A = this chain, B = another copy of it.
Amino acid sequence: MNTDIQKPPKKSFKIQMLAAREMAIIQSVNRFLAEKGFDAMTVDEVAAEVGIAKASLYKHFTSKEELACAAMVAAMRKAQDFIQSLPAGQAPIDKLKAVTRWTMTLKLQGLMPSLPSQNSSLRATLMANKDYMDGLMEVSDALGGWIEEAQAQGQINKGLPAVAVLYTLFARACDPVLEFLKMGEQHTDEQILDLVMSTCFDGLSAR
């Protein structure tokens, strides 16, 4: 008689715990990266916030860089999910606007992890991470396709190289204008989003 069939999966509980803890870690790292950046974030405070020992952290992630990397991979996956959630029938320009606004919403809420574009060791770690690179590629391909469609339809300036448009949209994820306007306390988050969406797509000049 094969008892395996009736046996409840023995490891499942422990694995679930580990997975849950890993999610908690990543969420914590995500917030710290958004709030203070990679350099200012310390492994100690992450461990403290999650409520585990530093040593346990290093069981999951072997370095501070991998920690940040995991958060970036998770963020990228969320972007992929959002992109796939968009209705297929929507016009490409509207999809682009939706993704851009979603990105900026995260940033305004302090949930957009940002890496110092200068830290080379971190960038190297990211570039070596297949999950991250695959996600980045998928997101870039989706947006790139929409950009070209929108240009063909005359809704995005055809004089701009698609890659320049892509970078400009990506850059909204770390646009300091959002924080500055928020600090000024003169506008609601929605108004700030509208303003930056307007400057991004319509420019500063009068139309």
Residues of chain A at the chain B interface (Cβ within 8 Å): 35-37, 39-40, 93, 116-119, 151, 154-161, 163-165, 167-171, 174-177, 179-181, 184, 186-187, 195-196, 198-207
A188 CB to closest chain B CB (Å) equals 13
B119 A205 Cβ-Cβ under 8 A:
no
Report copies per complex.
Answer: 2
Q: Which 7 pairs from chain A and chain B are nearest by CB?
A: A203-B203, A202-B203, A39-B39, A167-B180, A167-B177, A201-B205, A37-B118
**Chain B residue, CB-CB nearest to A180:** B167
Say yes or no: A163 contacts B176, CB within 8 Å. Answer: no
Known: A116-B116, A118-B35. A171 touches B161 (CB 8 A): no
A-B CB contact pairs (8 Å), 30 listed: A37-B118, A39-B116, A40-B118, A117-B179, A151-B206, A154-B206, A155-B206, A157-B198, A157-B202, A157-B204, A161-B186, A161-B187, A161-B195, A163-B181, A165-B204, A167-B177, A167-B180, A167-B181, A168-B177, A168-B204, A171-B175, A171-B176, A171-B177, A171-B180, A174-B176, A199-B203, A201-B204, A201-B205, A203-B205, A207-B207
